[in-house]
Amino acid sequence: MEILTQIGIDGKLLLAQAVNFLVLLFILHRFAYKPMLVFLEKRTERIEEGLKNAEEAGRRLQEASKGEERILATAREEAKKIVTETREASERRGQELVAEFERKAERIIEEARERAKEEREKMFREAKGEIADLVIATTEKVLRERLDGDADRGKVTRFLEKE
């Protein structure tokens, strides 16, 4: 005991833990292990029954596969028929959609042309107004210079002095 206390182990606590472990082991054996064994036995029986059923199902499957080819042939014929009908319908619908999209595209192009024409006319009107304002401003400037008699006399005088 002294050796255990020297390394830091309490003997009473160790004994209590050992008793708790044995009680837990008894409870698990009684309430978990036995029911688990019963469960596993039942499961084994179900698996064996399932294997028997699988063997019988395999036998039935072999019997059913004999008639399978006949059913598959009929299904293939019906599938080909459905595919052909669907393809024809989709081609018709595709042509209708193409025509509809072409009409819409033509309408959009026409609307764009109209808007462009209106914008061009608006720009010409605005440009004409600006040009008219510039011409008027230039004319006023030229006329002011012409009407200023002192400036004209100065120019004439300078011209005559040079000659």
DSSP the chain: -HHHHHTT--HHHHHHHHHHHHHHHHHHIIIIIHHHHHHHHHHHHHHHHHHHHHHHHHHHHHHHHHHHHHHHHHHHHHHHHHHHHHHHHHHHHHHHHHHHHHHHHHHHHHHHHHHHHHHHHHHHHHHHHHHHHHHHHHHHHHHHHHH-HHHHHHHHHHHHHH-
pLDDT for 163 equals 55
pLDDT for 159 equals 62
Q: What is the rounded average pLDDT of the residues 47-65? A: 87
Instruction: Give the chain's largest Cα–Cα span.
Output: 143
Instruction: Check residues 142 and 75 and name the one with the higher pLDDT.
Output: 75
Where residue 148 falls among pLDDT bands split at 50, 70, 90?
low
Q: What is the rounded average pLDDT of the residues 143-153? A: 61
pLDDT for 139 equals 72
Where residue 52 falls among pLDDT bands split at 50, 70, 90?
very high
Q: Is the pLDDT of residue 84 over 70?
A: yes
pLDDT tens digits, residue range 1-13?
677 777 888 888 8
pTM: 0.34
Q: Is the pLDDT of residue 118 over 60?
A: yes
Percent of the chain at pLDDT above 70?
86
Q: Is the pLDDT of residue 157 over 80?
A: no
Instruction: Check residues 124 and 115 and name the one with the higher pLDDT.
Output: 115
Q: What is the rounded average pLDDT of the residues 15-20? A: 94
